[in-house]
Amino acid sequence: MRIVITGSHGLIGSALVTALRASGHDVVKLVRSRPQAPDEVQWDPTGFVGGPLGSIDTDALGVVDAAVNLAGAGVGDKRWNDGYKREIHDSRTVGTATLVAALTAMDPLPKVLVSGSAQGVYGDRGDEVLTEDSAPGESFLADVVLDWEAAARPAAEAGIRVVHPRTSLVMAPHGGAFQPLARLIKLGLGGPLGNGKQWWSWITLPDTVAALQHMLDSDLSGPVNLASPEPARNRELIGALAAALHRPALLPAPSFALRAAVGEFAGEILASARLSPQKLTDSGFGFAHPTVESAARWFADS
């Protein structure tokens, strides 16, 4: 397949590009800057809600079989203020709308669009087991994710199969949210965040990439929880990582300290989200790292 991908330089995107090419697919990366390689096509995802969208050099794209949309400002990259919250929202919604406008204008239409989403749609839900049919939560990120998914709706209405991977915390030793956590654990400074009782849904990077490939090839559509079948409480997950790295995990990070350090985003770190990946497993997907222990071993050895 000829597959277009946004967000190809991110943690997930770069690993996905490598895996897709290893499987024999022709991958085209949409990039903001002037293309530096034959596999790059320029796009401008900028714009504003209710106003003009960005643009894509569709002539350079040619015939497209599938698209994977992973672009968006990192939710933990900067301290949240009104301006950065707007960037988090618009980088997803306007960028998605720009991509969808280009895809739906193609003849023939692409067969599938895997368009990013996140577990943040559920908000802080305590011990509740969350499926794709669970009601959305009430938070800034929940609103962002709902708008993000809605921005891809015109693709489904045009006849493109659309899948929304509601991604949980992606475990990787060399990027993403777990990299700074691993540094602290290796220094003996790791420990529960807040009271440590909150559920953390997680998935390893290899399973994330394999699941995204599965979404391209399967009949899945709509929201799909992208999480391991074994969510863990924060203190349990950090304890397993510390044990695999042969370090203690004794020093908790109190809630007030987190809020002082990262501001409003601390609420997302301390939130409890217990996702069920039943829709994914029912479709035939198998996890390489289904348990906390197997994931921790992989993490330590990588």
Residue 47 confidence (pLDDT)? 54
Averaged pLDDT for residues 31-52 = 78
Domain count, the chain: 1
CA distance 167 to 170: 8
Minimum mean pLDDT range among 99-108, 262-271, 284-293 = 262-271
The pTM score is 0.94
* Structure confidence at residue 21 (pLDDT): 98
Contacts of residue 140, Cβ cutoff 8 Å, sequence gap at least 6 = 80, 85, 264
pLDDT tier at 48, thresholds 50, 70, 90: very low
Taking residues 49-58, what's their average pLDDT?
Answer: 68
The average pLDDT across 49-73 equals 84
CATH number of the domain to which 246 belongs = 3.40.50.720
> Mean pLDDT lowest for which of 128-142, 168-182, 214-228?
168-182
Lowest-pLDDT choice from 74-83, 202-211, 248-257: 248-257
pLDDT of residue 77: 83
Q: Which of 84, 74, 54, 68 is nearest to 5 (CA)?
A: 68
Lowest-pLDDT choice from 7-16, 108-117, 243-252: 243-252
Task: Give pLDDT, residue 51.
Answer: 47
**Does 286 score more than 50 pLDDT?**
yes
Quick one: pLDDT band at residue 49, thresholds 50, 70, 90?
very low
116-134 pLDDT, tens digit per residue, is: 999 999 999 999 999 999 9
Distances 288 to 20, 247, 291, 292 between C-alpha atoms, Å = 18, 25, 9, 11
Q: Which range of residues forms the domain containing residue 220?
A: 2-301
* CA dihedral sign, ordered 268, 269, 270, 275: positive
| Torsion 211-202-262-265 (CA) sign | positive
Structure token digits, residue 51: 């106003």
The per-residue pLDDT of the chain, averaged, comes to: 92
pLDDT, tens only, 156-207: 999 999 999 999 999 999 888 888 888 888 888 888 888 999 999 999 999 9
Task: Compute the distance between CA of residue 107 and CA of residue 105 in angstroms, rounded to an integer.
Answer: 7
Distance CA 62, CA 69 (A): 18
pLDDT of residue 261: 60
Gap between the Cα atoms of 85 and 33, Å rounded: 24
Q: How high is the pLDDT of residue 262?
A: 64
Instruction: Give the confidence band of 254 by pLDDT, cuts at 50, 70, 90.
Output: confident
